[in-house]
Structure formats: structure tokens, C-alpha cells
Copies of this chain bind each other. A is one copy, B any other.
Amino acid sequence: MASTKDSNRASGLSETGDPSKGMISLASVRDSLIRQEDTIVFSLIERARFPYNAPVYDHSFLGSGQSLVELFVRESEALHAKAGRYQNPEEVPFFPDDLPLPLPLPCDNPQATAPVSVIEAIWNMYFNDLLPLITVKGDDGNYALTAAADLACLQALSRRIHYGKFVAEVKFRDAPQDYSPAIRNKDGDALMKLLTFKSVEEMVKRRVEKKAMVFGQDVTLQDKGDKVEFTDGEIKVDPSVVSHLYDEWVMPMTKHVQVEYLLRRLD
């Protein structure tokens, strides 16, 4: 059996799951955040292939009181846990209770934990706010594909938001003198101010909007000699919705994770 000791080599993150103990660089964090935008946009485009499909979220649909999407996410997370997904401190399950142990030799990483409030906030935001914005009304019966697409969106968003821990660690190391007073005073509002860079946030919003345009476009061949024409593209995911997602939910929630992390950084 292969060693899983190197399970965080990809990200250069701590092997202990604790951002304060690992090698971590501003460049690696920035690259990861930018790359995660692609994953989020891809997953939203894929979800938007299907209409809203209300039965997926209906707690009376299966007769067990559990919605299809909840069953799908719970059982998927159990499988992913068996395969060792949550040994990577970037990955946070929505239903952490009673997850099976990883089948491959577990490494020493404790499973990453996250404040329940953040997990719940992501879950509620996705189903109550975002999903109606990225889907058309309707029901095409593709419930399993829908739930699988929801899972991909939820995982991508959760990873991005919980990545705030690593973002905060990098910022703290870069300027501990700026953050330490507010941390010692347990002043969350002051930390939030220190963590807010309006111009960067504006740039991120514009970049994800552009990604939704680029990745959602209908790619056609426009050679002169080529007479084949394709249907005019519908918008796959409204780019302004993706910008709104980051503005209203992803960046505020990430900053909340950062504040919570920093408040405990000097304990």
C-alpha cells in the first residue's frame, strides 16, 4: 500500500491540516483561488444544463423525509471519505457526522473541521438563492444528473470559501503586526476591515464574470470555406449572476472564515 504522507503536495499546504504549521505561499494561494474560479464556473455551467427540477429538493419526494439531493450528497460524501478525500485539509464535508474512515492507510491529517454555521450558510445560499438564478423553471426528470451536478457545485463553492483559512494565514504571515492587535482585542470588525480590499474584490468580480462569458460561449469554427453553421448560443450561465455570487456570498463568506481563523490564530 502506498504512503499517503504526501497528500497535500499539490497545494503545498500543511500536512497537519493546520494552515499555521505548513509551508504556504502567497503565490500558491493566489493560484489556487484563481484555478478554483474555473472549477466553480464549469460546475455552474454544467448544473445549468438542467432546469430547476423541484422534486430533487422536495423532502416528500422519496417518502423518507430526506430530499434526493441530501441523500445524494450524504452518500457521495461517505464514498469520498472512504476514498480519503477529507484527508486533504482543503476539503470539508457538508455532513461530517458518521463518515466512514478512509480505506487507504490514513495519513496523520486530522479531518478538517469547519464551523457548522458556514457549512449551513453555504448549503442554504446554494439552494435558496443561487440555484433559482442559474436554472430555468421546469422539470425534465433528470434528477440523478441534477443531484450530481449540485454536488459538484456545492463542493467547489465549499472548497473556495473554506480556503479562507489558508488565505488568512498567508495574510497574517505577511504582516503579523497589522493583525495581532485586533486579534488580541478579539475585534472581528477590525479584522474584517483589514481583510477587505475593495479594488481586489472588484477585480475578482470582473474576472469571474469574464470566465462565465469565455467558458459559457458556443465555440464555433468560422472558417470561410466551411459552410456548416451552428445554432446561436443561449447563455449557459448569466455572467452577472456569477459576479453577484462572488460579491454577495463567496467573498463575504470567505472573509467570515478568515476572521474566525484569525481570531484563534494567537491562541
Contact = CB atoms under 8 A, between A and B. Distances in A.
Interface string A137-164: 0011111110110001000000000000
A34 B214 contact: no
A221 interface: yes
25 contacts: A2-B139, A4-B141, A6-B139, A6-B140, A8-B140, A9-B139, A27-B231, A34-B218, A38-B219, A39-B46, A42-B45, A42-B46, A42-B215, A68-B83, A68-B103, A71-B82, A76-B76, A76-B79, A83-B144, A84-B144, A85-B145, A91-B144, A107-B141, A206-B221, A215-B219
A143 B75 contact: no
A61 to B, nearest CB: 6
Interface residues of A, number: 73
Given A1-B60, A214-B214, A219-B211, A38 B45 contact: yes
A83 B210 contact: no
A141 B27 CA distance: 21
Interface of A: 1-2, 4-10, 27, 31, 34-35, 38-39, 42, 45-46, 49-51, 54-55, 58, 60-63, 68, 71-72, 75-76, 79-85, 87-88, 91, 103-104, 107, 139-145, 147-148, 152, 200, 203, 206-207, 210-211, 214-215, 217-221, 226, 228, 230-231
